[in-house]
Structure 1
Amino acid sequence: MRHAIAGSALVAVLALGAAAAGAFADKGEALSSAERKTLEQVVASPTRTPANVARDKYRHPVETLAFFGVEPDDTVVEMWPGGGWYTEILAPYVKHGGGTYYAVAPEKNLAKVRELAAAKPALYGHIRTAPFPIGSSKDVVPAGTADVVLTFRNVHNWQMGDKPFADDAFRQIYAMLKPGGVLGVVDHRLPENGDAAREKTSGYVKVSTVRRLAEKAGFRLAGESPINFNPKDTADWPDGVWTLPPVLTKGAVDREKYVAIGESDRMTLKFVKPL
């Protein structure tokens, strides 16, 4: 269950971050040793798709979820789970602890999650789904019930296109969370000195942009981690972030070069809804 961060403690975390440029708050201790062991066992499970396991070296699931403090009895909401990479970890993990897992996305983007639930009901049949953006639907995550909301490589999508909805997305996420609840964000990191226009086309987004969106919605930054940094990624590729693995849009052209670079350089930010 989400342990609320007291105001004075949160202020101390933020003050530390402000005082030490480039320092990162390590929240891995938020999990007990037993909880971390359970998480490690789920990540090591043979039930995961081999192609997903191969990407652990880029996505660092144990360290990332430990940093966000995701506990197995939490109500966890994953935004736009896509192909279900994290679903294969989060759904069994929270089931083990009696928690609740929501996959939240536009209906067309929930197909893979529904396939998982149908194919392996013992592992994934308990998954709850809800639409996002919420719109007029009544089948939603009830306001003020989520302990943790997680979004992996999605904020850039909410910024792109003719009708960006990032502001509304963060407001809706804020409403889902309990006071003291956590929003965990991982996304492709555009350098702060990069052209802001590239946030509309490249798949990369600045940390300052994500902070602005979150803080505008009412969140406070509780910490950030270098867990998912990749210094080989210069974020200036011909086809944006999709030039790199796993998409590799250039095909055979310079493939070895891009594979050697690996997946993108990513921010890992932890926000808290104040008490």
Structure 2
Amino acid sequence: MKHRIKLTLLVPLAAAIAAITLTQSAMADDAATAAALQAAIAGPQRSDLNKARDKYRHPFETLTFFGIKPDMTVVEISPGTGWYTEILAPFLRDHGKLYEAVGGGRGAKSFEDKLKADPAVYGKVIVTTLQPPAQTEIAPAGSADMVLTFRNVHDWIPRGTTQDYFKAFYRALKPGGILGITDHRADPSQPQDPKAGNGYVRQDYTIQIAEQAGFKLAGTSEINANPKDPRDQPVWNLPPTLRQGDKDRDKYMAIGESDRMTLKFIKPN
């Protein structure tokens, strides 16, 4: 009888110790991830001009919200000049994998030249082509842990290819994989412009597009919100573009960069 009592006591104790050990291990992993991400953000591979925009784009908070880990396979969509690539490439270099899905034209050539110029940082980056509807193989099907797209959805809406993009993301992701989106957020009291002519997209409209492709909303964040943005001007009037030059420059600089939604989706298992 005494042995049974001892055994009854030992089983929950062992389970509790195992749970504590797992929690401590997870906390250590989170701390290591945070340190590696902060090191990549502070690294010398980033230009001073890009670092100056951290106060608007919040790369640490954004990538942490999406749940990025250094051993993930990540696909960045339409990286532009490589603002986020400067962070993702060194962060994923040793233990993960980074695909960069680019379009055509001079922008793609400039981006690839950037990667070739610094093989120590970008030598393991895999460049793929994303030009819907013809070319949508951004990574092997079911291979990616995470797909990230920063301020691009508004560009796809007027082309009528938005669903082609989201289907490509869905195809590349593993079941349970994450889709992270940021974009200029339109005023929800105004109807969605079918051409997104001012560069803003309603948050509910973006969620609808993702859900139509099969994704499930996992969370939203106000990390990149800017309540100063009236959202009644073309987004390109704001910094960093300042399309109108010196006209109303002080006004737009006082606003800062656009109000942005930050959305996290999951591909269902």
TM-score under structure 2 length normalisation: 0.86
Give the alignment partner of residue 249 of structure 1, picking from 235, 240, 243. 243
CA contact (8 A) 1:198 1:204 kept: no
Partner letter of residue 215 of structure 1?
E
Q: Structure 1: state its 5+ residue gaps.
A: 1-28
Aligned in 2, Cα 1:195/1:50: closer, same or farther, shift over 3 Å? Answer: same
Q: Does 1:226 align with 2:222?
A: yes
CA contact (8 A) 1:188 1:265 kept: yes
Aligned in 2, Cα 1:270/1:140: closer, same or farther, shift over 3 Å? Answer: closer
* 1:257 to partner: Cα distance: 1.1
Q: 1:19 — aligned with what?
A: none
CA contact (8 A) 2:138 2:172 kept: no
Distance in structure 2 (CA, Å) of the matches to 1:188 and 1:166 = 16
CA contact (8 A) 1:199 1:205 kept: no
Give the alignment partner of residue 77 of structure 1, picking from 75, 78, 93. 75
Q: Does 1:260 align with 2:258?
A: no
Partner letter of residue 258 of structure 1?
Y
Aligned in 2, Cα 1:70/1:118: closer, same or farther, shift over 3 Å? Answer: same
* 1:250 to partner: Cα distance: 1.1
* 1:164 to partner: Cα distance: 1.4
CA contact (8 A) 2:192 2:205 kept: no
Partner letter of residue 35 of structure 2?
K
Aligned in 2, Cα 1:262/1:273: closer, same or farther, shift over 3 Å? Answer: same
Aligned in 2, Cα 1:209/1:273: closer, same or farther, shift over 3 Å? Answer: same
| Residues 195-231 of structure 1, C-alpha deviations (whole Å, 9 max, x = no match) | 3227520100001111111000000000000000000
Distance in structure 1 (CA, Å) of the matches to 2:135 and 2:190 = 38
Partner letter of residue 207 of structure 2?
R
Partner letter of residue 169 of structure 1?
Y
Partner letter of residue 257 of structure 2?
E
Q: 2:142 — aligned with what?
A: 144
Q: Say how many residue pairs are matched.
A: 241
Q: Structure 2: state its 5+ residue gaps.
A: 1-26
* 1:134 to partner: Cα distance: 5.2
Identity of aligned residues (%): 48
SS at match of 1:170: helix
After superposing on structure 2, the runs of 4+ consecutive aligned residues of structure 1 that deviate more than 4 Å are 134-140
Q: Does 1:189 align with 2:185?
A: yes
Distance in structure 1 (CA, Å) of the matches to 2:125 and 2:92 = 10
* 1:191 to partner: Cα distance: 1.5
Q: 1:95 — aligned with what?
A: 93
TM-score under structure 1 length normalisation: 0.84
Q: Does 1:210 align with 2:214?
A: no
Partner letter of residue 99 of structure 2?
Y
